[in-house]
A and B are shown apart, each in its own frame.
Chain A
Amino acid sequence: MEASVVEARASRAAALGLGLLLLAAALIAVILLSMATGARAIPVDMVWSALTAFDPNSTEHRIVWDLRLPRTLVGVLVGLALGLSGAVLQGATRNPLADPSILGINSGAALFVVLGVSVFGITQLGFYVWLAFIGAGVAMLVVYSVASLGREGATPIKLALAGAAMTAIMLAVINAILLTSPRTLDEVRFWQVGSLAGRSMDIALQVSPFIAIGAALALMSARLLDGLSMGDDVARALGQRIGLSRALAGLAAVILAGAAVAAAGPIAFVGLTIPHVARAITGPGYRWILPYSMLMAPILLLGADIIGRVIAPPGEVQVGIVTAFIGAPFFIALVRRRKLAAL
């Protein structure tokens, strides 16, 4: 009997491992599709030769390298960061609706960008990255400090409430600025929806170290999240330092979500939906939920971006709008089909 349990576990792990491989293959396919899709018709073999034998005199090669590659890379990085941060936040706060926007991360980033534009007149995308990043960090610090007040420390419910309250306050300030300053509204409205358009290689390079660190921290915290998911008392009884676990996971989530919002603006639904899909496939273990989220989110984000690029020529629909359109019904279907896993 003991042997059959071990065997079942092993075959389950093999199946999940195979699933990861399939997801990786799907991600590569979406990346190639993203490289081949755009306003200009470039044949697939030309895209391939641009990647393998770059010719600086070829217009098509330059477009693939200078426009599509950075955009695709930013899409993969942002998707990965959103998927992981959503999964980690849901685990650390044990709140199935946790995502970067609930804990005030997105609104903190938006507030700093809006302040930067309205007070300092910043208009270059390259500066938004840093403003958004600092804003996300400051907001998360404030939310965490407010939630930590009182005897029990930062419990999941207090974190969610503090996040919601801070979000409301920051949105009020953002709206006050935008309503009184049409110029600022004009500057930030494209950023505010979330988009991958016009992202240069510089932006990918600026955020990639943060996403690498955040992803490493997040993947390392899988065991801690499994402990937390059994409840604080059980986790404590198993010898886990829950405050430290939660802080570590929170740090990973903030770094990832901050980098994502910095690079692409606040993109809704990816960080919320993907971990639930992952959990539906893998079951409750974070050892599998995290890598599944990490691979599925960029597939969704890049796929949505590709749809947005071709759906309304000669213009484009921003990826934030497409993910909301895909994400919301998908999430409703998910909730209706099976009860959300109690975290």
Chain B
Amino acid sequence: MVLRTLAIAAAFSGAVVAAAQAESWTYTDGSGQTVTLDAVPQRIIASQDAAAGLIPLGIRPVGIYADSPVAEAKALEGLDLAGIEIIGQAWGEVDIEKAAALEPDLIIAEWWNRNAVWSGGENVVATLSQIAPITGVSAGDSIVGMIEDYEVLAQSLGADLAAPAIAQNKTAFETAVADFKAAVASKPGLTALAVYAGDDALYVADPAGAAELLDMQSWGLDIVKPQGVDATGNNYFETVSWENADRYQADLILVDNRAESTMATALAQPTWTLMKAAEAGQVAEWPAFWLRNYKAYAGALTDLTAAINAADPDLTP
């Protein structure tokens, strides 16, 4: 009897030791799936947005697939990419041979719940998931929430969040948020409109579809919600003919800055200035969909705070 108990205990403790040595790694991703690996993944391929979330926290992927040429990818702006292989430079495009040669343990992307797809699209996911399991945070309703999700993910991958540079970025961000809130509070009645400008039409953003706009709303900014957005479909904008550019009026216009040419396109439209804020020059950049870390967020907020402070809040009733 005693012998038998000892034997079980020995077997049990042996199993515990084995598990500790292998240090298995588990993560439940934004789509609700759980990924379990035998060891903490070391070689990671990340989407550009995931890389923008992880690199500032000290987790460096071996490869990145971007949605555009890296020089134009806003999410990667200012990040040290030395030694990281770029395996894609257009949306939906990834070099499978380069990806396989990197021998990744894990692919980290983002889950876009509104269209039920991983960043990069179905083709990229189908390609990469043959090489390694895919996981990642959900592109949620708040950039702050996403950054916190990245902190959890990075910590599980071995990041030290207490490192001085990381803590410093967080403090700077908190100051920027406080300044932003103060600026909004000092301009009662100020409204904002977030748009993308194309040669064919003006696209008015639904704030409910953009995490940073939802953050700004929660900090007090009044953002106009367009009437004609189909929230159930793959639709983040209302398409408005340039003939109807004055359909929505606001005191401050935020222009999607994912592509540098968007602002030039907007300014070139003869009816751009039908919007009172455009006429008055109260136009700022909208860091659309790409913020993933405290440093970039603080920078964007500082610019927006300056624009709000300079704006006349009484252009529109």
Residues of A within 8 A of B (CB): 38-40, 59, 62-63, 66-67, 123-125, 181-183, 190, 197-198, 200, 314-316
Asked if residues B274 and A59 are in contact (CB atoms below 8 Å), the reply is: yes
Asked if residues B246 and A59 are in contact (CB atoms below 8 Å), the reply is: yes
Q: For the complex, is B261 an interface residue (Cβ under 8 Å from A)?
A: yes
- Do A40 and B91 form a contact, CB below 8 Å, given A59-B246, A197-B199, A316-B200? no
Q: Which of B71-96 contact A (CB under 8 A)?
A: 89-93
Asked if residues B241 and A40 are in contact (CB atoms below 8 Å), the reply is: yes
Q: What is the CA–CA distance of A118 and B10 in the complex, to the nearest angstrom? A: 66
- Do A200 and B261 form a contact, CB below 8 Å, given A314-B239, A314-B241? no
Asked if residues A125 and B199 are in contact (CB atoms below 8 Å), the reply is: yes
- A333 vs chain B, min Cβ distance (A): 32
Q: Which residue in chain B gives the minimum CB-CB distance to A66? A: B270
Q: For the complex, is B244 an interface residue (Cβ under 8 Å from A)?
A: yes
- Do A200 and B241 form a contact, CB below 8 Å, given A124-B261, A183-B68? no
Asked if residues B90 and A63 are in contact (CB atoms below 8 Å), the reply is: no
Asked if residues B270 and A62 are in contact (CB atoms below 8 Å), the reply is: yes
Q: What is the CA–CA distance of A316 and B270 in the complex, to the nearest angstrom? A: 19
Q: Which residue in chain B gives the minimum CB-CB distance to A39? A: B241
Residues of B within 8 A of A (CB): 68-69, 89-93, 199-201, 228, 239-244, 246, 261, 264, 268, 270-271, 274
Rank and list the top 6 A-B pairs by shortest CB-CB distance, nearest first: A66-B270, A39-B241, A40-B243, A198-B199, A39-B243, A182-B90
Q: What is the CA–CA distance of A38 and B228 in the complex, to the nearest angstrom? A: 18
Chain B residues with Cβ under 8 A from A62's Cβ?
270-271, 274
Q: Which residue in chain A gives the minimum CB-CB distance to B261? A: A123
SS of A interface (majority): loop
Asked if residues B200 and A198 are in contact (CB atoms below 8 Å), the reply is: yes
Chain B residues with Cβ under 8 A from A63's Cβ?
243, 271
Q: Which residue in chain B gives the minimum CB-CB distance to A183? A: B90
Q: Which residue in chain A gives the minimum CB-CB distance to B199? A: A198
Asked if residues B90 and A67 are in contact (CB atoms below 8 Å), the reply is: no
Chain A residues with Cβ under 8 A from B90's Cβ?
181-183
Q: What is the CA–CA distance of A40 and B239 in the complex, to the nearest angstrom? A: 14
Asked if residues B91 and A182 are in contact (CB atoms below 8 Å), the reply is: yes
Chain A residues with Cβ under 8 A from B91's Cβ?
182-183
Asked if residues A38 and B261 are in contact (CB atoms below 8 Å), the reply is: no
Q: What is the CA–CA distance of A18 and B93 in the complex, to the nearest angstrom? A: 59
B270 touches which one: A39, A67, A314 (CB < 8 A)?
A67
Chain A residues with Cβ under 8 A from B274's Cβ?
59, 62
Q: What is the CA–CA distance of A197 and B243 in the complex, to the nearest angstrom? A: 11
Q: What is the CA–CA distance of A63 and B270 in the complex, to the nearest angstrom? A: 8
- A163 vs chain B, min Cβ distance (A): 31
Asked if residues A190 and B261 are in contact (CB atoms below 8 Å), the reply is: no
Chain A residues with Cβ under 8 A from B261's Cβ?
123-124
Q: What is the CA–CA distance of A59 and B261 in the complex, to the nearest angstrom? A: 26
Chain B residues with Cβ under 8 A from A40's Cβ?
241, 243-244
Pull 7 A–B residue pairs with CB atoms less than 8 Å apart, ordered by A: A38-B241, A62-B270, A125-B199, A182-B93, A183-B68, A183-B90, A316-B241
Apart from A38-B243, A39-B243, what 10 extra A-B contacts exist at CB < 8 Å?
A: A39-B241, A40-B243, A66-B271, A67-B243, A67-B270, A182-B91, A183-B90, A200-B268, A200-B270, A316-B241
Q: What is the CA–CA distance of A197 and B201 in the complex, to the nearest angstrom? A: 9
Q: What is the CA–CA distance of A123 and B264 in the complex, to the nearest angstrom? A: 11
Asked if residues A39 and B244 are in contact (CB atoms below 8 Å), the reply is: yes
- Do A315 and B239 form a contact, CB below 8 Å, given A66-B271, A125-B199? yes
Chain A residues with Cβ under 8 A from B271's Cβ?
62-63, 66-67
B200 touches which one: A182, A190, A200 (CB < 8 A)?
A190
Q: What is the CA–CA distance of A63 and B269 in the complex, to the nearest angstrom? A: 11
- B109 vs chain A, min Cβ distance (A): 18
Q: Which residue in chain B gives the minimum CB-CB distance to A318? A: B200
Chain A residues with Cβ under 8 A from B239's Cβ?
314-315
Q: Which residue in chain A gives the minimum CB-CB distance to B201? A: A315
- Do A197 and B200 form a contact, CB below 8 Å, given A59-B274, A182-B93? yes
Asked if residues B240 and A67 are in contact (CB atoms below 8 Å), the reply is: no
Most chain B beta-carbon neighbours within 10 Å: one of A123, A183, A190? A183
